[in-house]
Amino acid sequence: MKNLSSKTFKNEFVNTFDGDETGNLQPRQTPGVLYSKAIPTPVKNPELLAWSDELAAELHVEKPNREDILILGGNLVTPSMYPYAACYAGHQFGNWAGQLGDGRAITLGEWNTPDHAAYELQLKGAGPTPYSRRGDGRAVLRSSVREYLMSESMFYLGVPTTRALALVSTGDQVMRDLLYDGNSAYEKGAVVMRTAPSFLRFGNFEMLAARQELPQLEKLTSWTIAKFFPHIKGENKVIQWFEEIVERTATLMVEWIRVGFVHGVMNTDNMSILGLTIDYGPFSFLDQYDPEFTPNTTDLPGRRYAYGRQPSIGYWNLGCLASAIAPLFQDTESLSAALEKYKTIYFGKYHMMMAGKLGLDEFRASDQELIEAVEKTLTLLKADMTIFYQLLITLSPETTTEEAVAAHFSPSYYELPNKVNIETLHQTINNYQLRISRNQTSSKASKEIMKISNPRFILRNYLLHQAIQELEKGQQTLFLKLQEAIKNPYSAAHDEFFKLRPEWANDQPGSSTLSCSS
């Protein structure tokens, strides 16, 4: 185990690629480089709010001492660190945005573990970089708590994700316009240390392609394959690599749908080349089931990134990546064919996932109709997705009458369903019961499959909102409870949170609607 302050960091990325090493933090275009040196800007009084013991054990990092906390706040850079902000571009809400880059994230270096695994350690909210544009490079407590808890929550749910090692308050005030409505106010500042094997995005490759920096594009592609996809061998590495990205992205979309997660801002610069959930902003879990739900006020009224559209956006974003790496191919026919495999891969994984949620022994072609009926019923009822599936686990084969079925699922209703919707529910559940009776596995086995497929605890936005309000008053009670609850999302250990979103949260900013500043 090593302290952050005593560890010798590696800097393979900056030693491999061209960068702007001036340390100039003035916002500007940086052609010809993949990163810019960016020393964190010190804060008034960094104080540790949270530390992930589990992640620290995995990384072999010692609990932070005072010197380490200075690092976490951006007040200290050790000699072996090379802080930098990555340069990348992207499509935002379907439109080409040009150069973007790490506007409030600074990577300190690469942390190697005794088993030779390597992780980038990155500070989010540590001050301006050349890519901050008009921003200050800071993060507020509100958004930092959300990212810290949610990225760890997704990890314990089994969803591929970046992770958060630490959360510190800064003692500084940061001006933010919460809903982009002209009502700016000061908020408490904070910094998250987050980690991943790599924070490379689709946008890193788009940037090089857009600038016609093809030797750099080829070099970044070859390095990425060798570093993060070492199992890919042979002459056709690039197409095999893209095929794996297609599969990882499809897997990620299926996992989001499984747990009811809505990212909120699926721009290509927010798409991980490793298939990780990255950049937690205006995210939300579904409360009532609605394929058209988006928590992001910036995404209204088009709802491009709504819950049910995320899989198709994954495909669209992969198309942007394919266009970016197309110059590496003499003939793009194989690239197009690999992209088109996405739909088959996605639906194959999706059907298996839904079979698990429903407790089916396998997915049969005839089950497609049942899956569609369940989704239609959930949409009509506007039932709470998490609670509905938990009630499905405890559904008895003897629950067959219309009244009994309606009563069984009543804890998931946000409003009383009308007669037509109750009839639809009854018909769907009867068809479901019939299909379950044809399983080749036991009822007990079916229930166990459902229990590991359907979370019982999800980190709802209203809980985050309440925890943030408490923290802003210097209280940690709910925050600490949530830190523990996220570690056991498939158990009933934290059933104090197993309930519908309260009515007060329906129109509460931070609970129902969020912006990209969230």
Place of tokens 């609605």: 290
Give the strand pairing for 261-262 and 284-285.
antiparallel
Task: Indicate the residue type of 298.
Answer: T
**Catalytic residue (choose from 20, 172, 269, 287):** 269
CA dist., res. 131 & res. 189, Å (int) = 20
Hey, what are 281's tokens? 């902003």
CA 455, CA 451: separation in Å to the nearest integer? 7
Active site residue 53: no
Exposure string (b/e) for 468-492, b if CB count within 10 Å is 16 or more?
Answer: beebeeeeeebbeebbebbbebeee
CA nearest neighbour of 421 among 392, 391, 378, 388: 378
| Proportion of the chain in helix, strand, coil states, percent, rounded to 5 | 45, 15, 40
Residue with tokens 């409870």: 481
Which stretches within 130-236 are classed as H helix? 141-157, 202-210, 214-228
Nearest-angstrom CA–CA distance, 229 and 273:
11
Quick check: 412 and 388 in contact, CB under 8 A?
Answer: yes
Q: Whole-angstrom Cα distance, residue 216 to residue 213? A: 6
Residues 6 or more apart whose Cβ sits within 8 Å of residue 148? 50, 164, 167, 192
Q: Which neighbouring-strand residues pair with 112?
A: 118
Mind telling me the catalytic residues? 269
